[in-house]
Amino acid sequence: MLQTYTAKYTKIDSGYMGQLVEWPEVITEGATIEECREMLRDAMREMILAYRQQKKELPQGSCLLEQIPVEL
């Protein structure tokens, strides 16, 4: 089964921080956004394995984020 999660990337001094919106415990950093994306996928795989070993239910994915412009 394919599940989709929403990644949020934030620029930080050392590069990028990545976190899953629906699963905030999955968080990582990378020097580039590409490295951060790969590390986030790896962290997600590890978290899925840990949850399955503990027989915990995985969070549901498919969150929708939208940017709303506002004039200041």
Structure tokens at 62: 């498919």
pTM of this prediction exceeds 0.85? no
pLDDT tens digits along 24-65? 999 999 999 999 999 999 999 999 999 999 999 998 877 777
The partner residues of 19 in beta bridges, in order of sequence, read 8, 27
* Alpha carbons 27 and 41: distance in angstroms, whole number: 10
Give, in order, the Cα–Cα distances in Å from 39 to each of 17, 47, 68: 10, 12, 29
Please state, as a whole number, how many other Cβ atoms lie within 10 Å of the Cβ of residue 19: 19
What pLDDT, on a 0 to 100 scale, did the predictor assign at position 66?
Answer: 75
